[in-house]
Amino acid sequence: MALKIIRSTDPITVEQLVVLVYGQPGIGKTSAGYTAAAPLLLDFDKGSHRSGFRKDTVRVEDWTEVVRLSPEDLEPYKTIVVDTGGRALDAITSHIGKTNPKSTTGSGALTLQGYGELKAVFTSWVSDLRKLQKDVVILAHDTEDKRGDDLIVRPDFQGGSKHEVIKVADAVGYMAQVGNDKVLNFDPTSSAVCKNCAGLAPMKVPDFSKSPNFLANVIQAMKDKLNEKTEGQRVAAEALSEWKSSIDEAESVDDFSSLIQPVLEADESVRENVKRILWGAAKAKGFRFDKDAGTFANAEAASEPEAQAAG
């Protein structure tokens, strides 16, 4: 099979996201999960009954119940909410211990091989959900770690599995009480592990009775920002390609000189790159920029070239 190369001019449309939201118990993570688009919440933590905004829910007793969920079962839903990710990993761990005893020690803890299997099962499951065009929201409690004399909060997952969950997540947000407000922040800080793929500003968590689509809107804003970037990159790449074609056609000193002013008026997103291309192509032809005249000239008639001189 031929390798499919995505060219710089091809947009990469973001359609599904994996979003991890963590915070203190009782901060409202489960309720926030129910504000995602058409959610199905997998309740590993047995806490869905405490939310006043409950929607369709599966109370998971065993990982095999998750495995048995078919594409037809999931078809009505746009978002699969995992509550909590830590308990989901516990369920996978228990499942691995039952199906592959060599993956656990005598005390039931996972061996190195078992952790590899845990990672493979979890990441494969999330990948399958994305293939079904589902967004995935993973909820987690927070835990405090020491970094020197400082405390840092992280999602609460067993062992090294937290790194795998953070790696699979496109965005990681920390929900915390700040004064009288609850705030969801995706920006990494010195005191909290976060991941902000779309550059969203910290946001006040609203009253869900008045904003029942809160998390759906947050995830859509992420997609819009990411897709805006890829579209902007496509437009810039196409513009750069057109400029390169024009510069490639230049042969004489006059041809190159006639391009100077248009290049200086090029769109800001490509201007510096186009200047470098123009000056490089002129140098390859044996021309140099004459600072005094503000034009290109034959090398022996020009001063030392500097791309910035025409800036």
Q: Tell me, what CATH number does 51's domain have?
A: 3.40.50
Per-residue pLDDT, averaged over 191-218, amounts to 94
Q: Is residue 144 a part of any domain in this protein?
A: yes
Q: Is residue 64 a part of any domain in this protein?
A: yes
Which residues fall within 8 angstroms of residue 41, CB to CB, at 6 or more apart?
30, 33, 34, 48, 54, 55, 56, 57, 58, 81, 83
Residue 244 confidence (pLDDT): 84
Whether 305 has a pLDDT exceeding 90, the answer reads: no
Q: Both 208 and 293 in a single domain?
A: no
Q: Is residue 9 a part of any domain in this protein?
A: no
Whether 307 has a pLDDT exceeding 80, the answer reads: no
Residue finishing a domain among 172, 195, 227: 227
Cβ–Cβ < 8 Å for 137, 173: no
Q: How far apart are CA 279 and CA 29, in angstroms?
A: 55
**What band does 179 get if pLDDT is binned at 50, 70 and 90?**
very high
**Residues in the chain, total:** 311
Cβ–Cβ < 8 Å for 263, 271: yes
Q: Both 193 and 256 in a single domain?
A: no
Residue 270 confidence (pLDDT): 84
Classify residue 215 by its DSSP letter: H
Q: Is residue 12 a part of any domain in this protein?
A: no
Q: Both 222 and 253 in a single domain?
A: no
Q: Both 160 and 193 in a single domain?
A: yes
Q: Both 135 and 262 in a single domain?
A: no
Q: Is residue 172 a part of any domain in this protein?
A: yes
Of 68-72, 126-130, 248-252, minimum mean pLDDT range? 248-252
Whether 81 has a pLDDT exceeding 50, the answer reads: yes
Q: How far apart are CA 175 and CA 193, in angstroms?
A: 11
Q: Is residue 13 a part of any domain in this protein?
A: no
Per-residue pLDDT, averaged over 292-303, amounts to 74
Q: Both 283 and 151 in a single domain?
A: no
Residue finishing a domain among 227, 262, 296: 227
Q: Which residues pair with 151 in a beta bridge?
A: 146
Residue 72 confidence (pLDDT): 97
Q: Is residue 194 a part of any domain in this protein?
A: yes
Which residues fall within 8 angstroms of residue 303, CB to CB, at 6 or more apart?
288, 289, 290, 291, 292
Residue 9 confidence (pLDDT): 58
Q: What is the greatest pairwise CA distance in the chain?
A: 84
Whether 247 has a pLDDT exceeding 80, the answer reads: yes
With CA atoms as reference, report the closest residue to 15 among 122, 167, 123, 134: 134
> In this predicted model, which residue has the larger pLDDT, 31 or 247?
31
Q: Both 88 and 181 in a single domain?
A: yes
Q: Both 204 and 263 in a single domain?
A: no
Q: Is residue 8 a part of any domain in this protein?
A: no
Q: Both 210 and 99 in a single domain?
A: yes
Residue-number span of the structural domain to which 299 is assigned: 249-310
Output phi, psi for 137, to 5 deg: -115, 120
Residue finishing a domain among 227, 259, 276: 227
Half-sphere exposure of 247 (CA within 13 A, CB side): 22
Of 9-13, 58-62, 169-173, 274-278, minimum mean pLDDT range? 9-13
Residue 304 confidence (pLDDT): 45
Which residues fall within 8 angstroms of residue 269, CB to CB, at 6 or more apart?
232, 235, 236, 239
Count the domains in the chain. Answer: 2
Q: Both 208 and 257 in a single domain?
A: no
DSSP 3-state of 196:
coil
Angle, in degrees to the nearest 10, between helices 161-168 and 85-99? 120
Q: Both 60 and 171 in a single domain?
A: yes
Q: Both 31 and 125 in a single domain?
A: yes
